Amino acid sequence: MTATDNHRADAHKAAHKAIDAVWRIESARLIAGLARMVRDIGLAEELAQDALVAALEQWPESGVPRNPGAWLMAAAKNRAIDLLRRNKLIERKHEELGYQFEAGQIAAPDLDTSMDDSVGDDLLRLIFTACHPVLASEARVALTLRLLGGLTTGEIARAFLAPEATIAQRIVRAKRALSAARVPFEVPRGPELTARLSSVLEVIYLIFNEGYSATAGEDWMRPALCEDALRLCRILAELVPTEPEVHGLVALMEIQASRSGARVDASGKPVLLLDQNRALWDRLLIRRGLAALGRARQMSAQAGAYTLQAAIAACHARARAAEETDWECIATLYAELARLAPSPVVELNRAVAIAMAFGPAAGLELVDALVSEAALENYHLLPSVRGDFLFKLGRLGEARLEFQRAAALTRNARERDLLLDRARILES
C-alpha cells in the first residue's frame, strides 16, 4: 500500500469516526425537526438516516464539514422538502385547511425556515409524541430512547433486561402505530398533559442513566446524553411548574450530574462513589439540585419516587467526606421508596445502604434473598454488590467468583476492567 493509499485510508477512518460521533449528538435534533415538517416520526427517522448515508458517502472524500450537524440538518431538510413536494403533501394539507387559509387564519408553511424553530421545543414535542397513550408503556420508553437518546436497539434491550429482538419489534410497531393513528406532533395540554407526564419522566431519567453509566461501549459515561436529559427536564419544569415530581427529577439529575467530573480518573477508568474526590463535585449543580428538591417538597407532603431518590442523592451531596454520609437516613429513604415503588433494583440499593449503616452481613442477607429474582438474573450489579459484601466479610474466594460473574454480565468495557481487577487482586 502506497503512502497515498495510507493517507486515504486514514482520512476515511477519521471521517467515519466523526460521523458516528456527530450522529450520536445530532440525531435527536435532526429527527425532531424533520418530524415537525413531515408529521410522521417513522418517516422523520428514515429521512435522518438518508442524511447519514449521504455523509458516509461524501465526507470520506470531501472531508468532514466545519459544522457537521448543520450539514446533516441541511441534507435531511432538502430530502424532506423533496418528499413533501413529490407526494403533494402540501396540496393535501391545503385542501384540509383551505377554509382557514382563505380566512387568513393560518399562514402557508415556509419549508425553508421551518427547521429553524427552537430545537428545545422540537425535542419536547418529540418526546411527548413518542410517549403518546396510543402506545403501550414499554413501547413509549423504547421509542423515545431510540429517537431522543440515539441509543442502539441493543443498548435499549440492556436497559430493560429484555431480548434485543423484542425491543426491535417493539420500536417498529410503535412507529407504525403513531403513523396509523396520525398522532399530532405537539405538546399536550390540560388533563392529557398530566396523564402522560409520568411516562415522559421515566423516559427522561432512562436517557440520563444511559449517559451517566453507559450500558455498553468503551466509555463509562456519555455526558451529552446526561445534558440532553437534564435540559429536557428543565424545560418540563418550566412548562408544568406545579408538578412536584418534575422538580424531584430535576433535583435528582442535577445532584447526580454534579459528580461527573469525579466519576472517572485521568485515564477514563471509573471511580466509585466512596472513592471520589468530592472537591471535584460541581457545587453549583448541587445547589441547584437542593433548591429543586426544596420546591418539590414544598408542593407535596407525600414525596414521590423521584423526590425520594433526590433526597437520597442529597444525603451524599451534603457529606463533605464519604465517612460523613448519613447511611441510616439513606436506608430509611430506600425503605420508603420500596414501599412506594417496589422493585428488585430498589431492594438491591437498600441492601447497600443497610450494609453501610449496619454492616456487610446485614446487607448480604438482603442480597441473598434477591438471587432468585428473575428480573436480576442478568443484572451485573447483583453479583458485584454481593461480591463486595463477601469481600468485606473475608470470604475472598466467593467474592472473586462474584466479581468474575459480574464482569461477564456487563457490556461496558470500563466497568468490566474494574470488576476483573478486583477479581485478580483476590487471586493472590
In a domain, 68, yes or no: yes
Domain that holds residue 31: 1-102
The pLDDT score that the predictor gives to residue 17 is: 78
Which of 106-120, 201-215, 332-346 bottoms out in mean pLDDT, i.e. has the lowest? 106-120
Alpha helices in 240-278 (DSSP H): 244-257
The pLDDT score that the predictor gives to residue 55 is: 86
Confidence of residue 109 (pLDDT cuts 50, 70, 90): very low
What is the chain's mean pLDDT, rounded? 86
CA 79, CA 128: separation in Å to the nearest integer? 25
Is the pLDDT at 160 greater than 70? The verdict is no
The pLDDT score that the predictor gives to residue 214 is: 78
Which of 12-16, 371-375, 400-404 bottoms out in mean pLDDT, i.e. has the lowest? 12-16
The pLDDT score that the predictor gives to residue 263 is: 94
Confidence of residue 369 (pLDDT cuts 50, 70, 90): very high
DSSP 280-321: GS-HHHHHHHHHHHHHHHHH-SS--HHHHHHHHHHHHHH-SS
Helix, strand, or coil (residue 14): helix
Q: Determine the average pLDDT of the residues in 36-45.
A: 85
In a domain, 240, yes or no: no
Long-range contacts of 107-110 (CB under 8 A, 24+ apart): none
Confidence of residue 364 (pLDDT cuts 50, 70, 90): very high
Is the pLDDT at 74 greater than 70? The verdict is yes
Confidence of residue 386 (pLDDT cuts 50, 70, 90): very high
In a domain, 40, yes or no: yes
pLDDT, tens digit, for every residue of 24-35? 778 888 898 888
Which of 86-90, 352-356, 420-424 bottoms out in mean pLDDT, i.e. has the lowest? 86-90
Q: Determine the average pLDDT of the residues in 135-157.
A: 83
The pLDDT score that the predictor gives to residue 41 is: 87
Q: Determine the average pLDDT of the residues in 250-278.
A: 94
- In sequence order, the 6+-apart residues with CB closer than 8 A to the CB of 422 are 387, 391, 403
Contact 48, 126 (CB under 8 A): no
Q: Determine the average pLDDT of the residues in 234-238.
A: 88
The number of helix segments (H) and strand segments (E) in the chain equals 20, 2
Prediction pTM value? 0.72
The pLDDT score that the predictor gives to residue 120 is: 59
Confidence of residue 184 (pLDDT cuts 50, 70, 90): confident
Confidence of residue 104 (pLDDT cuts 50, 70, 90): very low
**Which residue type is seen at 303?**
A
Which of 61-75, 371-385, 394-408 bottoms out in mean pLDDT, i.e. has the lowest? 61-75
Query: In the chain, what percentage of residues exceed pLDDT 70?
Result: 88
Q: What is the largest CA-CA distance in the chain?
A: 83
Is the pLDDT at 250 greater than 60? The verdict is yes
Is the pLDDT at 115 greater than 70? The verdict is no
Cα 173–chain centre separation: 21
Phi, psi of 270 (to 5 degrees): -65, 145
In a domain, 37, yes or no: yes
The pLDDT score that the predictor gives to residue 116 is: 45
Picking from 144, 133, 218, the residue whose alpha carbon sits closest to that of residue 183 is 133
In a domain, 185, yes or no: no
Helix, strand, or coil (residue 162): coil
Is the pLDDT at 261 greater than 90? The verdict is yes
Confidence of residue 426 (pLDDT cuts 50, 70, 90): very high
Domain count, the chain: 1
* Burial group, residue 112, by CB count within 10 angstroms (0-12, 13-18, 19+): exposed
Q: What is the 3-state secondary structure (H, E, C) of 84-113?
A: HHHCCHHHHHHHHCHHHHHCCCCCCCCCCC
In a domain, 144, yes or no: no
CA 364, CA 74: separation in Å to the nearest integer? 56
Q: Determine the average pLDDT of the residues in 40-50.
A: 87
In a domain, 253, yes or no: no
Which of 35-39, 76-80, 109-113 bottoms out in mean pLDDT, i.e. has the lowest? 109-113
The pLDDT score that the predictor gives to residue 49 is: 86
Cα 326–chain centre separation: 29
Is the pLDDT at 113 greater than 60? The verdict is no
Greater confidence (36 vs 376) lies with: 376
In a domain, 335, yes or no: no
pLDDT, tens digit, for every residue of 311-324? 999 999 999 999 99
Query: In the chain, what percentage of residues exceed pLDDT 90?
Result: 46
